Each structure stands twice: as structure tokens, then as C-alpha cells.
């Protein structure tokens, strides 16, 4: 299956699930589970089902890994594409009625990203890319910003939903805030990355996110001329992830590394 065909299926599925969630938003309070800093919605599971049904019909035999996997999570290999699905990214926003949420679907073959689609129903924005094509928003080409210094940058971030006391999310947030022109937390990792791809933000960093939060949009950043990098593995599928316009990548990475170092020294 070509990357373009994968993208067409991902777009169909993202639009179907996102449209369904939007139509059903009066049910946004129906929670299967409430956690201190997160919520698991009935609509999350229903949207995952919609995406899976479309993939199973149009890409039979492919593997699916979803945040809300209805069956057991599957894994791909070098010959079996893996569809990585976050049916509602920004679930807490959605549950409060904030418009910053989306459906995110990435397709990988082994370590290679083939295609990614991120659909934000409330703003009707569809971000897409294939490994051999441009990054687009509603068909218009995207390009990362040309901001070259952290002091001039706007950096998107998020606070680890587990707020693990051994990790320094607030210290990193503080360090970024004092060095950048602005730090922002919007609450949807996939949309944060799309803002970097569109040149509206210059970098995105978060720790404690999962592959489904970033699989589609990382490719969109790269195809928009930026850089996307997993900079750590926290275990249990939790990642530390940095994406940027490329120009400020190393500087932001240094800020994060220094905070981490200081924390380790203070503890040692």
C-alpha cells in the first residue's frame, strides 16, 4: 500500500471519528474513568472503534495500536504497517468543551513513518503528510518558522499527567518560560506539533507522552522542514519528546538536559 493510500484512509478515519465526537459532544461528561489529571471518556472508546472499523475494512491484515484499543494492542513489523491511533487527543479539553482537541492517526512500517493525519473538528483543520510529500493544512503547504533564538521563540509544552515527583516537569516548564518569549500549554500534543509545523510555535517539548500522541504529527513537523526527536524513554511506553523548527532544537534540548542534570545532582 502506498503512503498516499495510507494517508487517504487515515484522513477518512480521522474525519469520521472526529465528526462523530463533535456530533456527540453533549455526551462529553460520560466518563469510564476519572483520574487526578486525566479522564477516560466513553466517546474515546467509541471513536477508536470507528477508526478501527475503517482500517480493518480498507487495510485488512494491518496492525493497530490505539490509546483506547478495543481489542488487544497489536504491533507491526517490517512488512506489516502499524496504524497508531489517538481517537481524541486533548481529551480533558474536549471534556470541558475547549476546542483544542483532535483525532490523530499515524501509519508506520517498521521504524519509518509513512503517513499522518490530524483532524481538529472544532476548527475544521486537517493536517496531513506522507513520507514523500509535503505537509499540508486543509490542502495549503506548511512550513516551520525561521525563529533562530530561544529568546524570540514560543514553545509549546505540557505537564506530565502523572506528575511523577521524581521528574522535574515544573522545573522544565519554568526554565523554558524564563528563556523563551512565551511558553504555552494548550493540552493537545498532536495539535501542539501541528502548530510547530505551521510555524505558529517554534518548538514543543513534553515528557510522559505516548507514541499515539505524536506518531502522526511528528511526521507532519518533519515534512514541514522541522525536526522531531524522541529524547528519552521513561518506560511503560512513556516518552520524552522534542520537536522544533530545527534552528532552536539543540538550544532547547540543552535547557532540558541542564534541568535534568541539576535535579540529579541535587538528589545525589
Which residues is 115 bridged to in the sheet?
Answer: 107, 130
Print burial letters for 12-46: b (CB count within 10 Å at least 16), e (below 16).
bbbbbbbbbbbeebeebeeeeeeeeeebebebbbb
Q: Would you call 164 a catalytic residue per the annotation? A: no
Residue 245: half-sphere exposure toward Cβ, Cα within 13 Å: 23
Nearer to ligand IPD, 67 or 131 (CB): 67
- Give phi and psi for 86, each to the nearest 5: -115, 105
Residue among 55, 91, 206, 256 flagged as catalytic = 91
Distance of alpha carbon 70 from alpha carbon 42, whole angstroms: 12
**How many angstroms separate the Cα of 27 from the Cα of each of 22, 40, 145, 172, 182?**
10, 13, 38, 35, 34
Least spacing, CB of residue 153 vs ligand IPD, in Å:
19
Is 91 a binding residue for ligand IPD by CB under 6 A? The answer is yes
Instruction: Choose between 157 and 247: whose C-beta lies nearer to ligand IPD.
Output: 157
C-beta of 91 vs 128, nearer to ligand IPD: 91
Q: How many residues bind ligand IPD (CB under 6 A)?
A: 14
In whole angstroms, the minimum distance from the beta carbon of 91 to ligand IPD comes to 4
Q: Can 124 be counted among the known catalytic residues?
A: no
70 touches 197 (CB < 8 A): no
Decide if residue 161 touches ligand IPD (CB under 6 A): yes
Rounded CA gap, 9 and 1, in Å? 11
Q: Which of 81, 90, 168, 246 binds ligand IPD (CB under 6 A)?
A: 90
Q: Is 86 in the site for ligand IPD (CB under 6 A)?
A: yes
Q: Is-catalytic flag, 91?
A: yes
Q: How far apart are CA 257 and CA 190, in angstroms?
A: 23
Closest by Cα among 168, 169, 149, 167 to 159: 169
Residues between 193 and 222 with contacts to ligand IPD, criterion CB under 6 A? 206, 208-209, 213
160 is catalytic: no
Please give the residues from 166 up to 195 whose contact with ligand IPD meets the rule CB under 6 A. 187-189
Residues 10-49, mask of contacts with ligand IPD (x by CB under 6 A): ----------------------------------------
- Give min distance, CB of 94 to ligand IPD, in A: 8
Write each residue from 116 to 155 as x if it is in contact with ligand IPD (CB under 6 A), else as -, in one continuous string.
Answer: ----------------------------------------
Catalytic residue flag (residue 88) = yes
As measured in angstroms, the least distance from the Cβ of 148 to ligand IPD is 27
Give contact residues for ligand IPD (rule: CB under 6 A).
67, 86, 89-91, 158, 161, 187-189, 206, 208-209, 213
**Residues carrying an active site annotation:** 67, 86, 88-89, 91, 213
Amino acid at each position: 500500500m502506498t503512503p498516499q493510500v495510507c494517508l487517504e484512509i487515515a484522513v477518512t478515519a480521522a474525519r469520521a471519528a472526529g465528526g462523530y465526537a463533535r456530533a456527540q459532544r453533549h455526551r462529553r461528561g460520560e466518563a469510564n474513568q476519572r483520574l487526578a489529571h486525566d479522564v477516560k471518556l466513553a466517546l474515546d472508546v467509541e471513536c477508536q472503534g470507528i477508526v478501527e472499523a475503517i482500517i480493518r475494512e480498507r487495510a485488512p491484515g494491518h496492525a493497530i495500536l490505539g490509546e483506547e484499543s478495543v481489542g488487544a494492542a497489536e504491533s507491526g513489523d517490517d512488512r506489516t504497517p502499524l496504524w497508531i491511533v489517538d481517537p481524541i487527543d486533548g481529551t480533558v479539553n474536549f471534556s470541558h468543551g475547549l476546542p483544542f482537541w483532535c483525532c490523530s492517526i499515524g501509519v508506520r512500517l517498521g521504524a519509518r513513518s509513512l503517513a499522518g493525519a490530524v483532524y481538529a473538528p472544532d476548527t475544521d483543520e486537517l493536517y496531513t503528510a506522507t513520507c514523500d510529500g509535503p505537509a499540508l493544512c486543509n490542502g495549503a503547504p506548511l512550513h516551520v518558522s525561521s525563529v533562530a533564538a530561544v529568546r524570540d521563540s514560543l514553545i509549546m509544552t505540557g505537564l506530565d499527567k502523572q506528575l511523577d515527583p521524581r521528574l522535574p516537569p515544573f522545573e522544565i516548564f519554568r526554565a523554558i518560560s524564563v528563556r523563551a518569549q512565551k511558553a504555552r500549554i494548550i493540552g493537545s500534543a498532536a495539535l501542539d506539533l501541528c502548530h510547530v509545523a505551521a510555524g505558529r510555535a517554534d518548538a514543543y517539548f513534553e515528557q510522559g507522552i505516548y507514541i499515539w500522541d505524536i506518531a502522526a504529527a511528528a511526521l507532519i513537523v518533519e515534512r514541514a522542514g522541522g525536526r522531531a526527536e524522541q529524547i528519552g524513554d521513561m518506560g511503560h511506553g512513556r516518552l520524552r519528546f522534542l520537536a522544533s523548527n530545527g534552528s532552536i532544537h539543540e538550544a532547547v534540548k540543552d535547557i532540558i538536559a541542564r534541568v535534568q542534570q541539576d535535579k540529579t545532582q541535587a538528589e545525589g
